[in-house]
Amino acid sequence: MASRRAPLRVAAPGEKPQAKVRALSIIEAAEAGDPRALLVAMRGRVAKTVEDPNCPPRDLAALTRRLQEISREIEAIDARAKQEADEGDHVPDEAWDETAL
């Protein structure tokens, strides 16, 4: 998947770097009500468990499968958002009618 970083540019004199955005915990993401943020937090938690050498082998297959499912769900949300953004760019202007006021 492609990175979502902004293109490089020259910083203006006196410009401060942007603060890094801290990843939300699963609880914070759930309370925020953002489905994508919740999936991202879950993906991080599941990935950490899969990578743990002490992860029980009986759980590894199910966790790996769930990690793939979560990644697909995030990609679907991103694709939908991109499609909606692309469709929004091509909305023609309507004719102005002063009498409608």
How far from 9 is each of 5, 6, 15, 31, CA to CA, in Å?
12, 9, 12, 36
- Asked if residues 27 and 45 have their Cβ atoms less than 8 Å apart, the reply is no
Domain boundaries, the chain: 26-89
pLDDT at 31: 92
Cα(64)–Cα(78) distance, integer angstroms: 21
pLDDT at 23: 83
- pLDDT tens digits, residue range 2-44? 556 677 888 888 888 887 778 889 999 999 999 999 999 999 9
CA nearest neighbour of 42 among 22, 69, 62: 69
pLDDT at 7: 79
